[in-house]
Amino acid sequence: MKTVVVGLSGGVDSSVACAILKEQGYNVIGLFMRNWDSTTNNDVLGNPDVDNEICPQEEDYNDAEKVAKKLDIPLYRVDFIKEYWDNVFTYFLDEYKKGRTPNPDILCNKYIKFDAFIEHAKKFNPDYIAMGHYARVEHGEHHKMLRGIDDNKDQTYFLSQLTENQLSTILFPVGDLTKQEVRDIAHKYDLATKDKKDSTGICFIGERDFNKFLNNYLPASPGNMITEEGQFISKHSGLMYYTIGQRKGLGIGGSKEFGNEPWFVIGKDLEKNELIVGQGFHHDTLYSDSCLVDEINLINMDKFDGELKCTAKFRYRQKDNVVTIKFIGDEILVTYKEGVRAVTPGQAAVFYQGDLCLGGGFIKEVYKNNKKCKY
């Protein structure tokens, strides 16, 4: 009997992953990860006054215990608080300091769920590691990552920094299922998580006010909100609180001078601490035709010469965009002639050929007509 260690999070997806694997005859071991603790991290910072509201991991652990008991599998618990702080949260803060919009979930997968977790799981001498992600792995001479069957839930975007070596022992039992099918299996086994709401957002923020949380670590620097022509519109509460293409939270209503068309963030000037806004969802400034991507991770291929045609996603659940990619040194220039809205520095660019995920990197700079955008 082969042994598999499953990242049992207390959510329905990982719960069903355990049920499927046990049904398939594996010796299943559950391992719950604790990645964030407000009090501990504040001690590390020497910052005891930070809001100590804790994300609901204890509730998740209780649910994981109920699932493990129902399925008659052992459950262990491990703390990755320091690893999460060093490799994910510090990166998160550094990116905001640069005025970029980071995606910490991708780093969490790379450094915690598929690195620290795998290292810790070795104590159980497993044949495989499994997670409840909506993705698929094709094992063979090369280990390939494919999109999950459920297009609406596919999570390969967040897994794009994984390596082929990491994928070699990974199983994604729910990758061949739709979300409804997962719920149905959870009901079949009467699991405690069968009707549990999907978690959203980032663990260390949870249900708290994002701006208030971020201000605890990066004090805001208010400034002017202006048009492209430099006309003052309002005040912003800190550039880090805004992302390119954002509409909500600007606090700009209609006026006689500008009319009632909605306002969007179309740029940032870090030197002047100015937020640039414009009217209209399809404001011309929001569209770019190329971007430079760094921190490249290609899963089944090496650095290549020449150009490669493929598709790319620049945001989770965004439609595929036809692109051409080529290496410029150790970075990749991505060209998309049709133009794409709100390509944002700090976000991931993930490349695909059909269902095959090629990997990706992080957007460093954005261009239009060979001119760098003020993003």
Question: Residues near 182 by Cβ (< 8 Å), separated by ≥ 6?
Answer: 12, 13, 16, 174
Check residue 53 and give its pLDDT: 47
Cβ atoms < 10 Å from Cβ of 370: 7
Of 220, 195, 265, 207, whose CA–CA distance to 15 is shortest? 195
Q: Is the pLDDT of residue 198 over 90?
A: no
Q: Is the pLDDT of residue 44 over 60?
A: no
Residues 244/288, Cβ–Cβ less than 8 Å: no
Residue 203 — pLDDT band, cuts 50, 70, 90? low
Helix, strand or coil, per DSSP, at residue 135: strand
For β-strands 27-34 and 75-79, DSSP reports them as parallel
Q: Is the pLDDT of residue 171 over 70?
A: yes
Q: Where are the alpha helices (DSSP H) in 98-248?
A: 104-108, 117-121, 164-167, 179-188, 210-217
For the stretch 247-287, pLDDT in tens is 998 999 878 888 889 999 999 999 999 999 999 999 999 99
* Matching residue, tokens 């978690």: 199
Q: Is the pLDDT of residue 50 over 80?
A: no
Judge if pTM exceeds 0.85: yes
For the stretch 62-94, pLDDT in tens is 999 999 999 999 999 999 999 999 999 999 999
Check residue 125 and give its pLDDT: 96
Active-site residue numbers?
108, 203
Residues 255/279, Cβ–Cβ less than 8 Å: no
Check residue 42 and give its pLDDT: 47
Residue 205 — pLDDT band, cuts 50, 70, 90? low
For the stretch 296-322, pLDDT in tens is 999 999 999 999 999 999 999 899 999
* Partners of residue 78 on adjacent β-strands: 33
Structure tokens at 213: 């949380």
Check residue 201 and give its pLDDT: 63
Residues 12/134, Cβ–Cβ less than 8 Å: no
Check residue 217 and give its pLDDT: 85
Q: Is the pLDDT of residue 343 over 80?
A: yes
Residues 22/4, Cβ–Cβ less than 8 Å: no
Check residue 45 and give its pLDDT: 42
Cβ atoms < 10 Å from Cβ of 90: 12
Mean pLDDT for the stretch of residues 49-55: 46
Check residue 233 and give its pLDDT: 94
Terminal Cα distance for the chain, rounded:
53
Report all structural domains of the chain as residue ranges with CATH numbers, in order of start.
3-210 (3.40.50.620), 220-279 (2.30.30.280), 284-372 (2.40.30.10)
Helix axes 12-23, 179-188, angle to 10 degrees: 70
The rounded mean pLDDT for the chain is 91
Structure tokens at 176: 């061949």
d(CA 236, CA 242): 9
Of 245, 248, 243, whose CA–CA distance to 214 is shortest? 243
Check residue 59 and give its pLDDT: 86
Check residue 130 and give its pLDDT: 98
Check residue 46 and give its pLDDT: 41
Helix, strand or coil, per DSSP, at residue 224: strand
Residue 43 — pLDDT band, cuts 50, 70, 90? very low
d(CA 57, CA 351): 33
Check residue 255 and give its pLDDT: 80
Mean pLDDT for the stretch of residues 215-233: 91
For the stretch 126-152, pLDDT in tens is 999 999 999 999 999 999 999 999 999
Helix, strand or coil, per DSSP, at residue 277: strand
Residue 206 — pLDDT band, cuts 50, 70, 90? low
For the stretch 9-42, pLDDT in tens is 999 999 999 999 999 999 999 999 998 765 544 4
Q: Is the pLDDT of residue 374 over 90?
A: no
